Amino acid sequence: MEASVLHTHNVSLNILVIGEMVAHQELLHVASLTHHRFYWETDAASIFELASHTRFDLIFGTISYQGTSYFSTLQSIKQHNLDLAIIIFISPEDAFNLNEVLMLQCERYLCLETEKDKAAVHLKSAIQELSQSDIFLSDMQYFEALLDASIVSQSDTEGNITYINDNFTKVTGYTPAEVIGKNHRILRHPANGTEIYEHMWKTITQGKVWRERVLNKNKDGSDFWGDTIIIPFKDTHTGKIVQYLAVRQDITQMLLEKRAVQAQEKQAQEQMKLSEAKDAFLILFTHELKTPLNAIMNFSQYLYKHMPNIEEIPKEKRMHLLEQIYKSAHSMLENVSNILDLGKLRHQKLHYNLTFFNAKESILDVIEKHGALALEYHRTMVFHSDDSEPFLSSDEYRFKQILSNVLSNAIKYGTSTVEITLSSSKETLVITIEDDGKGIRDQDKEEVFELYNQSASKPSSMEKKGTGIGLHFVKLLCEGLGFEYRLEDSAHLGGVKFSLTKRLKEPKYV
């Protein structure tokens, strides 16, 4: 906005109107009737630029405008113009920065809500006082404008309340008769530790301003959060502290809204993370289906093409191709079945077929079926067991699924060796599967059991293998069948150690 000079005489004041007061019609009328120079501006940079070229006698307006604070601008201007008089209107929102506002040492602080309509009167009074070189209001009067916008109380040097304003009663429920003469401890919330009050007293008794967000307790027992500033006042002659002024802003609703926003943002981030994980899963799962499907198509096409002269193909090769077709189809079926079973597990609709079976034989069967995978990855599987033949009362098929998922991970992510150990006592059976791979970071050991969390289960430099749902499937099966599971570092091989524990049940003979 261009600065406008309304009247010029030999002797006149330079007055800068800022912020919300620029659009005040009564001020425009006052300016038109005086011989003083008026400048009007809302932009902080332009205000500073004007003050660089013009020595103002008075700045009159709001401390902020449309979310922009003028504090830094006014502070810089006043440092270069010590005689500058400032009259500031403040809103309840500005009271959050009360300490900064007071540092400006303005001649007047006026409450915007109650004094806006009287702005013309205050401007005329300021011009008259400046013209007559009168002394403006004393320090204690500065704060009177803040009383209507804040929760204010005064106390003596012992913390006993000597004054409260209407907002104090409105928020806390305490009337002056109930609190005057009593200690501020009546507002103390039991959830607060003593250290916060110790720090407060240490600060204010040294004559320093203390500020903190404090949880308080109202008369009815309800909570309210207060952005609290406590200002010590000293005797001008002795320098001793004579009283304390506490100014609070009720920020309970603001914090609730902030927490709600944070919760929404967190939920949105989790949804985004889940969506990205699902996309990654679909890519991996598609790859897991595509690989065996390609084998089926290629091998079957080869056999179909050579059907007229099938005898020309060695029998061993034909058997090998058919075996690969079968294994590929079985792999696809297993992946699809895992997805279907996982859906049932997550909705608690999977039914278990409980039988009594030899655990050792089941483990050996799983190891044997993973021989081809171990050969493909050049891994050596070693089985350790005591001489016991423990029996389990559980679902053998699901038990094998648990072992298969863990064992296949150990083979894929190991380096050379995978060890499977079975030990049992009368009470428990323990199975451990260890590999010599790069391991899993401690912060990821819990996350690897969550759905679509394969990317977090291994360092980013490692190739992702499998669909990424295996360990989540293991977790749900263990919970459904009553197995305890644990993932930790392998002290023996240096990779990952998975432990599966089950309380044994004695066989019942009829």
60 and 102 belong to one structural domain: yes
Q: In the prediction, which pLDDT does 8 show? A: 33
Residue 280, pLDDT score: 56
What are the C-alpha distances in Å from 412 to residues 409, 435, 447, 462?
5, 10, 19, 11
User: Is there a single domain that holds both residue 30 and residue 133?
Assistant: yes
pLDDT by residue (tens digit) across 405-417?
899 889 989 999 9
| Spatial CB neighbours of 102, under 8 Å, sequence gap ≥ 6 | 142, 231
- Same domain, yes or no, for 432 and 466? yes
* Inside any domain, residue 48: yes
The helix or strand, by DSSP H or E, that contains position 201, with its residue range, turns out to be helix 194-204
Mean pLDDT of 86-91: 92
More confident residue, 182 or 265: 182
Instruction: Say if residue 149's pLDDT is above 80.
Output: no
- Domain with 93 in it: 14-146
SS3 content of the chain, % helix, strand, coil (to 5): 50, 25, 30
CATH code, domain carrying 209: 3.30.450.20
pLDDT (tens digit per residue) in 46-77: 999 999 889 999 999 999 999 889 999 999 99
Choice between 212 and 347, residue whose per-residue pLDDT is larger: 212
Answer yes or no: is pLDDT of 389 > 70.
yes
At 141 the pLDDT is 53
201 lies in a domain? yes
Q: Between 148 and 224, where is the model more confident?
A: 224
Residue 147: pLDDT band with limits 50, 70, 90: low
- The reported pLDDT for the residue numbered 88 is 93
Domain boundary among 146, 169, 184: 146
Q: What is the DSSP letter of 486?
A: E
Residue 178 · residue 168 · CB < 8 Å: no
- Residue 121 has a pLDDT of 94
DSSP codes, 68-137: EE-HHHHHHHHHH-TT-EEEEEE-GGGGGGHHHHHHT--SEEEEHHHHGGGHHHHHHHHHHHHHTT----
Q: Is the pLDDT of residue 468 over 80?
A: no
Percentage above 70 pLDDT, the chain: 84
Cα separation, 38 vs 16, in Å, equals 6
Residue 4's alpha-carbon distances to 27, 50, 86, 115, 144, in angstroms, are: 14, 12, 20, 26, 33
Query: What is the pLDDT, as a whole number, of residue 508?
Result: 52
**pLDDT tens string 93-137:** 876 777 778 888 888 999 898 899 999 999 999 988 887 654 444
Whether 2 shows a pLDDT value over 70: the answer reads no
User: Within 13 Å, how many C-alpha atoms sit on residue 68's CB side?
Assistant: 13
Q: Is residue 3 assigned to a domain? A: no
Mean pLDDT, to the nearest integer, of 479-502? Answer: 92
The verdict on residue 510 lying in a domain is no
* Alpha-carbon gap, residue 279 to 274, rounded angstroms: 9
Could you tell me the CATH number of the domain that includes residue 336?
A: 1.10.287.130
One domain, residues 86 and 222:
no
Most confident by average pLDDT, 271-275, 440-444, 469-473: 440-444
pLDDT above 80: residue 34: yes
Last residue of a domain, one of 184, 216, 250: 250
* Mean pLDDT across the chain: 83
C-alpha distances out from residue 293 to 140, 272, 333, 338, Å: 85, 31, 11, 17
Residue 6 lies in a domain: no
* Region class of 163: left (phi > 0), else alpha (psi between -120 and 50), else beta: beta
d(CA 398, CA 12): 94
CATH number, domain of 131, equals 3.40.50.2300
Structurally, the chain folds into a number of domains equal to: 4
Q: Are residues 360 and 496 in the same domain?
A: yes
pLDDT of amino acid 271: 79
Which of 218, 250, 282 is at the close of a domain? 250
Judge whether 508 lies within some domain: no
- Residue 455 is predicted with a pLDDT of 42
Q: Are residues 378 and 420 in the same domain?
A: yes
* Model pLDDT, residue 274: 67
314 inside domain = yes
Single pTM value for the model = 0.41
**pLDDT of res. 510:** 43
Other residues' Cβ atoms within 10 Å of the Cβ of residue 129 = 17
pLDDT above 70: residue 5: no
Same domain, 389 and 452: yes
- Domain co-membership, 336 together with 202: no
User: Do both 120 and 242 map to the same domain?
Assistant: no
- Would the pLDDT of 268 be above 80? yes
Could you report the per-residue pLDDT of 336-369, keeping only the tens digit for each?
776 776 666 666 777 888 999 999 999 999 999 8
CA atoms of 230 and 184, how far apart (whole Å): 12
Identify whether residues 366 and 440 lie together within a single domain.
Answer: yes
Q: How far apart are CA 80 and CA 51, in angstroms?
A: 9
284 falls in which pLDDT band (50, 70, 90)? low
Whether residue 308 sits in one domain with residue 220 = no
Tell me, yes or no, whether 349 lies in a domain: no
**pLDDT band with cut points at 50, 70 and 90 for residue 6:** very low
- Per-residue pLDDT, averaged over 15-25, amounts to 95
Instruction: Give me the CATH number covering residue 494.
Output: 3.30.565.10
Same domain? 98 vs 117: yes
